[in-house]
Amino acid sequence: MKHRLPSLLFIALCGVAPAALGNLLHWSAWLWGFMAMVTTSGSLLLVMTALSGGRASADPYEPAEPEPPAAPTEQPYQETRVVDAALPSVADGYDFLFSATVWWRPIPDHAHRSDGASPALAVSSVVSRALDIVRCEEPGRAGFARYLLEGELSVLVPDRSGRVEALAADVTLTLAPADRERLQKLNDLRKDEEIWEYERQHERNKRRYLGDDVLKSAGSAVVWWLARHENEIETAVDMIGPLAQIAAAANDEEVPELFRHLLVPPMGARSEATVGGPLWDGHDQGGGRFDREEEVGVSDRLLLLLAAVGLKPDMDEYMVFVHRVVRSLEAAGLYEAADEIKRTLLPTPDEGGGEEPESGPSNEGASAGPWSPGFPASEDSPFTGT
């Protein structure tokens, strides 16, 4: 700062002097202006030269800046391969197959110690890093783990001994074909089992809903049916009996007395239809009270039909109709049904009033029809002419 002020004053004086001299000598403005510019430029050049020379001579013994050291020669990369190295996964028995191209070089401080063990050190470093990554991965995630390896192994990292540094490229991570097939089968079975378990749970829920709610009683069953068929009131009335029977069966109970007259067929209808008949007279015909839980046979259905049309055992039309049904069944080859009707509805020879004679001509009316003796055919019977 102390050298700057005199220098500025000197430059200003050199610039003003030609202007003052030109006014005194009556120079033209162009002349003294040109002279002022020349003196100003010359004084500025002199000041700069003086300042630079003084700064250079101020400390002649100042040491020069040291030259930067030469950069060490970078070692070239060398290449080696890793092929199908088995790396364990999180699942026991399922190993990944790891392959990669390993690029390595000696660390500069140990370049003079490079020997045949350096490639092995590089491969060991890369495989150890890969092992730390994939040991927590599922075997089915080999594709995902490969991308993790590519990112982690692309960084140049020294090995544990500090002699080489290595990275990996062209990374592949796969499973053995047999392991892939096993995993696919296990995966399919697991999915199928999940579906089956959901279906079974759905079925249990449906059974619980029907047993504990819908079929809890006959009334709840009727309400459930009516909720699904809101506009079918008359049909709902007809469904009371079947729904009551279903609800009783679902709860292992008897049908309540209130709904028994609505069953199809009604309870007691068959026993009423066969009152006085040979099937229900209490003798050796297996008779007795009708049990609705027993299997309904052909003879039972025929009894219901006879009761429905109004035919009773003491009527001739009753026996004619039974014999006609027997003959029709035998003509159709249904001998078991015909024999059941004969045993159940037709009287035995003892009940007919005597033993049947061996020869037909000596017995009057024996050839009049296919029924047993003791029940003469009616004149209007269609079998009289047979």
CA dist 147 and 210 (Å) reads: 53
CA distances from 169 to 40, 151, 370 (A): 70, 10, 104
In this predicted model, what pLDDT tens digit does every residue of 86-136 receive, in sequence order?
A: 999 998 889 999 999 999 998 877 655 556 678 899 999 999 999 999 999
Q: Identity (one letter) of the amino acid at 286?
A: G
What is the number of other CB atoms lying within 10 angstroms of the CB of residue 43?
18
Shortest CA distance to 323 belongs to which of 310, 342, 340? Answer: 342
CA dist 218 and 323 (Å) reads: 43
Indicate yes or no: pTM above 0.85: no
In 193-347, DSSP assigns E strands to none
CA distances from 251 to 202, 212, 246, 265, 266 (A): 21, 9, 9, 21, 20
pLDDT of 198 reads 94
Q: Which of 166-193 are b and which e, b meaning 16 or more Cβ less than 10 Å from the residue's Cβ? A: bbbeebbbebeeebeeebeeeeeeeeee
Q: What CATH number does the domain located at 78-179 have?
A: 3.30.479
The residues near 172 (Cβ < 8 Å, ≥ 6 apart) are: 97, 98, 99, 100, 146
The residues near 267 (Cβ < 8 Å, ≥ 6 apart) are: 255, 260, 261, 292
pLDDT confidence band for 369 (50 / 70 / 90): very low
CA distances from 211 to 197, 218, 241, 254, 323 (A): 21, 12, 18, 16, 48
The residues near 237 (Cβ < 8 Å, ≥ 6 apart) are: none
Number of Cα atoms under 13 Å in the Cβ half of residue 125: 29
pLDDT confidence band for 147 (50 / 70 / 90): very high
CA dist 365 and 379 (Å) reads: 12
- CA distance between the termini of the chain: 159
In the chain, DSSP assigns E strands to 78-88, 95-106, 157-158, 164-175
pLDDT of 378 reads 40
pLDDT of 349 reads 58
Q: Identity (one letter) of the amino acid at 264?
A: V
CA dist 166 and 168 (Å) reads: 7
In this predicted model, what pLDDT tens digit does every residue of 302-350 receive, in sequence order?
A: 888 888 878 888 888 888 888 888 888 888 888 888 888 888 888 765 5
Q: Is the pLDDT of residue 281 over 60?
A: no
Per DSSP, helices labelled H in 135-262 are 142-153, 177-209, 218-228, 233-238, 240-250
In this predicted model, what pLDDT tens digit does every residue of 148-202 receive, in sequence order?
A: 999 999 999 998 888 889 999 999 999 999 999 999 999 999 999 999 999 999 9
CA dist 26 and 20 (Å) reads: 10
Does residue 233 contact residue 222 with C-beta atoms inside 8 Å?
no
Q: In the chain, what are the domain boundaries?
A: 4-51, 78-179, 214-262, 269-368
Q: Could you check whether the bond before residue 177 is cis, i.e. omega within 30 degrees of 0?
A: no
Residue in the structure block whose two tokens are 């067929």: 265
Helix (H, G, I), strand (E, B) or coil at 158: strand
Q: Identity (one letter) of the amino acid at 39?
A: T
